[in-house]
Structure 1
Amino acid sequence: MTELWNWRIDQVRPEEVYPALAEALGRVVMPLAVADPACLPTYAVVCDVWQAPGEFATIVDCYGVPDTLPELPAIAALARLLDRNCLMRDDTLDAGRHLLVTPDGTIRPVHFDVRETDDGEVLANQRLCTSAHPGCRGWSQCHRSRWAPDTVVPALAAA
């Protein structure tokens, strides 16, 4: 079985992502635009990287990731290699809630305002998911997550 990963990166050019991603995954990374399914090595991961407006504007979609590769250590390695903050979706259904992965490997839940545009989702107004914020208190979806408000975890411990 294979997985699909969808990440966002803060302020990085797409052409910088492919080699860093290959190193982070320890796999060949093929850009979606040039990937020929008939010629792909079995260990290759196909990726699409593009720019969108808003915060964390570099978007990375990885297709066909073997389920033996753990996502949290992979995104933590990418954040370290690029020296950039990265985002991944969390385990709630809240479109504005993500996990922030920093270059030092720390993972913490954050919220964004999300606006739909013709170019996709635009993220703005990053804020920590904390019980001090009224939207994160009590019966919010935040408390049903593995990543409760105020959670701060090293990536390797979270895997």
Structure 2
Amino acid sequence: MAYPSASSALWNWLIDAPVPAREIRAALAAVLGRPVAAFGVGNPGELPTGTVHCDVWVGGGDFPVRVDCYAAPVEPAESAVAAAFARRLGRACLLPDDTLDPGRHLLAQPDATIRPVHVKITEGEDGDDYSQLRLCTPTDPWCRDWARYGPSRWAPGAVITTRAAA
């Protein structure tokens, strides 16, 4: 098996409603334009070069579907891929932002917008549960000192519209 290299990434996303794993992998393959295989299925040495390995599982909370992608491409940017993915599935998708705040994420929506948000993370039976989503805005007291976790290109209140290929 070829192990991920510096030219590959690891993505951990959450989806706001149940979606069959095969639909998730098909949407990801369509957006990326490369093969996506279920994690741990088949002989990795026989998979086409550039295959992304995708594990899908269900937990609890408001974003119950977990999508873990291994050997994902570095380009295009993860946020752009997530926006296209959310648009294609018609579901909201939560992904980590570029700070060290565990409760701050990016929300990619089906309209191809991306914005910073906060979620409450609690321990569930099948891993962490993400719930109580609220927008990260300059008027939110928690967000006023948002830079405490490090610089971010996603300022409170930012709304980025991507040209999400679908």
Q: What TM-score results when the alignment is normalised by the length of structure 2?
A: 0.86
**Superposition map of 1:130-149 within 5 A:** 130-138=137-145, 140-141=147-148, 144-149=151-156
Percent identity, please: 49
8 Å CA contact 1:13–1:58 kept in 2: the answer is yes
**Of residues 89, 92, 100 in structure 2, which corresponds to 1:82?**
89
Deviation (angstroms), 1:30: 0.2
- Cα distance in structure 1, aligned partners of 2:154 and 2:145: 14
Q: Does 1:56 align with 2:72?
A: no
Counterpart of 1:11 in structure 2 is 17
| Residue 47 of structure 2 corresponds to residue 40 of structure 1 | yes
Per-residue CA deviations over 1:49-88 (Å, capped at 9, x if unaligned) read 1111001111111111132333222111111111011111
Gaps of 5+ in 2: 1-6
Distance 2:80 2:146 in 1: 30
1:91 aligns with 2:102: no
The residue number in structure 2 matching 1:22 is 29
Shift in CA distance, 79/38, structure 1 to aligned 2, threshold 3 Å: same
Amino acid at match of 1:155: T
Contact 2:12 2:68 in 1 (8 A): yes
Aligned mates of 2:81, 2:31 — CA distance in 1: 6
- 133-142 vs 115-124, which deviates more? 133-142
Report if aligned partners of 1:3, 1:65 keep a CA contact under 8 Å in 2.
Answer: yes
Q: Tell me the CA shift for residue 27 of structure 1.
A: 1.0
TM-score (norm 1): 0.90
The 4+ residue runs of structure 1 with deviation greater than 4 A are none
| Structure 1 partner of 2:80 | 73
Q: Which runs of 5+ in 1 are unaligned?
A: none
C-alpha change, 1:144 and 1:70, in structure 2 (3 Å) is closer
Amino acid at match of 2:65: T
Number of residue pairs matched? 157
Task: Point out the more displaced range, 65-74 or 44-53.
Answer: 65-74
Question: Tell me, what secondary structure is at the counterpart of 1:72?
Answer: helix
Q: CA RMSD in A?
A: 1.9
